[in-house]
Structure 1
Amino acid sequence: MLFWKKETQLDRIKNKLEKAMRKDTAFSVFGASSHKYRVYEKLTVKELADWQAKNQVTLPEPYTQFLTKVGNGGAGPYYGIYSIEKATSYTDSGLTKKCVLHPGMTKEEWNRLTEPLINDEDISDLEYDAARERVLGGMLCIGTQGCEYDMYLVLEGKHRGKIVYTSDFYPDRPFFFVYEDNFLDWYERWLDEIILDYDIAWFGSRMPGDESALIQVYQNAPNEEIKSKALDGMFKFKKISRPTIDFLESVAEQRQNDRITAIQLICKTSVDAGRGYLLELLHSDRNEDLLHALQILNWYGKSVDLSEFIKVIVQSLDRVHDPETLRHVGYVLESSDAITLQNFAPFLCHTDSNIQTAAIYATRSCNDKSESWEIIQQMFMGGGKEVVKTTIQYWGMIPHEKLLPYYKAAWPEYKSNNNDDIM
């Protein structure tokens, strides 16, 4: 008689590690070149017991199963999972403390908790360390995402076993609890998304689930926040199926709150599919609609014929009144030769220095500078040496005799400040 062994989650994880390695042979997934989908030698039961006794902590079981059955760190989200030894060395807060963080922490709660870390300039080192321990206590640092971002495991309390993404301390930015309840579920999701060829930049920060699951969550959501998170979860898909595009089109038509997100998701898969929506946004009287359209075209339109959109954008330049919108105008138009000093003259000679700087950057590749020397002279007359120095930085020096006196006046200071490096 044959007995079939039921596949456990640990078995699945081991098999999926092999599949992920075969899927990503070039190690193109963020952090994969560091860990190469290899785990370290497993921790023995005695080594685990000794560590827990020494640190007076009982680790959550899903995490200990990984350490003793899969590997003592190695392959994992971002730059991988620390060994227990490295995790201990990177955790400088009290492991036995109560974790005070929780999912859904309000900005007000967070600001009260971190106020000494953010706003108290006179805080002593001892007081700072104590305040930091209140925030990070009761958690183990199990890995890093790079820069200021780390991954922690909650050791005690109601949320024991959950993963928390941390960063430096900023007002109104509570740390993020991932959606999964335990380490193994979070880890297996990471493998699944690699195998399914999802976009896993900032893995774990978006709602899990495939297209159908997220549509169902959206349709059954009890509030606007969950609807928004369900839509946001779809950004992990590199391409979206036709039925999902149909669903997003219905959202764009019927749900003003989610309209822009739905259009963005449609255009991520196909700018052509979202062409009508983009033209509608470009023709809108609302400045925010114009900016949204420009952002979407900048993000997803680089390999698409944008001539129809470019014509509308050039005709709409008189509606641009802020640096952010102007920057995105520049991003979209820069590869089309549609930017000239003539059509950017109102921005180049603007009294707002931020708009002027954005315009100077946007026109850096224009070929009509010498012919448009009068516009440049007007700029220099109105803005003085700072404007001249900014144009040198982005344009170099324009060879025209009428501009030479301005360059001569600004050159000594520019040369001193820029160490002779001319862009």
Structure 2
Amino acid sequence: MKKKHVAQIKCVKRKLILAKKADKNFRVFGSKYHKYFIDRVVTEDEVANFEQEYKITLPSCYRSFLTQIGNGGNSYANSAAGPFYGIFPLGERISELIEFPEEYLNQPVNIYPGMTDESWTQLTQRIQEEEDISDDDFDKEMGKIYSGILPIGSQGCAYIQAITLNGANKGRVVNLDIDIDGEKPKFAYENNFLDWYERWLDEIISGDLIKDRPTWFGFCMGGTDRELIGKYQDSTNEEYKIECLVGLLQKAKLNMETIQIIEKECSNPSPVLSNLALQLLTKTDYKLAKNKLKEKYTIEPLIVFQCLFWYAKDASEDWIPEIKVLLSERNIDPKLFNFVTYVVKECKTNSSILLQPFTEHENEKIRRQAGYILKELKHKTKAN
């Protein structure tokens, strides 16, 4: 084990215990399967045999995990505790991406962080366009796309997590949609497997991942709220700033200094940044966000009703006057109509009379939505 990993391995072992205590009811996605259990470590000889078989050298961060923390466990495919359904045992499920891993695991990696849509389309072009591609050619193309990539865990459905085995990004974790028609690769922000794994533990201990729904760990920028808001303020790149705010949206709570900065950013001249800031403020402190929401309503009512539905359902009744105005407009945008009706459903006031005319609207989507919400309101009235 490299000396640089010694302290981190000790830290990860300690945090595994703390994470299990923090998530004692197994609310973190996948934890009810792995239960934070990791089986015995593998020996250096076992790792060496695996490397020799596939003519590869495992990244030291991943190797240290296997030989110093453990290998496999009780989750799906005997996976060890880890993000989503855990970490595959060494040598298991290595054909998730390519049919003949022995031919491609030792080849140069062709995917990379920040890969453009154009580059991804070019890399997958033959598979996408040739409907009659032979099985052999399909396997070769998949080998080219995912060469040098080792699957290390399942995220459910067609999604997996994998690790790069060579090149400039050796040791980094990448999120993959193995449905080739799906999303392009999304690299985790951490520089190596151990940093990624430790971040997962940190976000369990902090409570950020303790939710009764999938949280898509590793798809957003990590760090404490102070770190993320600091990066946001230090950057002049809008795309990077967006990533910082999206990362903040995953936080269970924010400190007051961060909230005050976010409040000011609701007036940012960039519509994307101001809208994200408004989402954050609504999620964190509705009372503080209310005036900002009222201001935004006069410009972009859709953003307001999205914020209300996503983060402030309990405050729906505050918006009855605006709901009445919007539902008096026959030419309302269908998407706005959907979110207004979602909020209507959360109100104590029954607004069925306002929705009834829309059951005969010329737009089919609006008619269907009006009918659906009216049924929901009827059930709600009976239940009460």
Give me the TM-score of the superposition, normalised by structure 1: 0.80
Matches within 5 A, 1:194-233: 194-199=204-209, 201-233=215-247
- For residues 61 and 367 of structure 1, what CA distance do their matches in structure 2 show? 60
Residue 243 of structure 1 is matched in structure 2 by 257
Residue 366 of structure 2 is matched in structure 1 by 355
Residue 110 of structure 1 is matched in structure 2 by 120
Q: Which amino acid aligns with 1:274?
A: A
Aligned length: 357
**Of the candidates 259, 277, 293, which is equivalent to residue 262 of structure 1?**
277
- Give the secondary structure class of the aligned counterpart of 2:48: helix
**Alpha-carbon distance, 1:340 to partner:** 4.5
Deviates more, 1:191-200 or 1:153-162: 191-200
**Alpha-carbon distance, 1:318 to partner:** 3.8
- Shift in alpha-carbon separation, 1:358–1:43, aligned structure 2, 3 A: same
Matches within 5 A, 1:272-311: 272-284=287-299, 289-302=300-313, 304-311=314-321
- For residues 91 and 84 of structure 1, what CA distance do their matches in structure 2 show? 16
Kindly indicate whether the alpha-carbon contact (under 8 Å) linking 1:339 and 1:363 is maintained by their aligned counterparts in 2.
Answer: no
Find runs of 4+ consecutive structure 1 residues off by over 4 angstroms. Answer: 337-341
Q: Which amino acid aligns with 1:41?
A: R
- For residues 290 and 193 of structure 2, what CA distance do their matches in structure 1 show? 42
- Shift in alpha-carbon separation, 1:202–1:322, aligned structure 2, 3 A: same
Quote the sequence identity (%): 35
- For residues 97 and 356 of structure 2, what CA distance do their matches in structure 1 show? 55
- For residues 139 and 328 of structure 2, what CA distance do their matches in structure 1 show? 53
Gaps (5+ residues) in structure 1?
1-5, 369-423
Kindly indicate whether the alpha-carbon contact (under 8 Å) linking 1:87 and 1:140 is maintained by their aligned counterparts in 2.
Answer: no
Q: Which amino acid aligns with 1:273?
A: L
Residue 386 of structure 1 is matched in structure 2 by none
Residue 164 of structure 1 is matched in structure 2 by 174
Q: Which amino acid aligns with 2:125?
A: E
Bigger relative CO (Cα 8 Å, ≥ 6 apart): 2
- Give the secondary structure class of the aligned counterpart of 1:41: coil
- For residues 192 and 45 of structure 1, what CA distance do their matches in structure 2 show? 28
Deviates more, 1:198-207 or 1:34-43: 198-207
Q: Which amino acid aligns with 2:188?
A: V
Residue 185 of structure 1 is matched in structure 2 by 195
- For residues 6 and 58 of structure 2, what CA distance do their matches in structure 1 show? 24
- For residues 143 and 12 of structure 1, what CA distance do their matches in structure 2 show? 22
- Give the secondary structure class of the aligned counterpart of 2:151: strand
Q: Which amino acid aligns with 2:270?
A: Q
**Alpha-carbon distance, 1:87 to partner:** 3.8
Residue 16 of structure 1 is matched in structure 2 by 15
For the pair shown, which has the larger CA radius of gyration, 1 or 2?
1
**Alpha-carbon distance, 1:367 to partner:** 4.7
- For residues 67 and 269 of structure 2, what CA distance do their matches in structure 1 show? 49
Whether 1:148 and 2:158 are equivalent positions in the alignment is yes
**Alpha-carbon distance, 1:114 to partner:** 1.4
- Shift in alpha-carbon separation, 1:367–1:102, aligned structure 2, 3 A: closer
Gaps (5+ residues) in structure 2?
73-79, 380-384
- Shift in alpha-carbon separation, 1:268–1:366, aligned structure 2, 3 A: closer
Kindly indicate whether the alpha-carbon contact (under 8 Å) linking 2:328 and 2:354 is maintained by their aligned counterparts in 1.
Answer: no
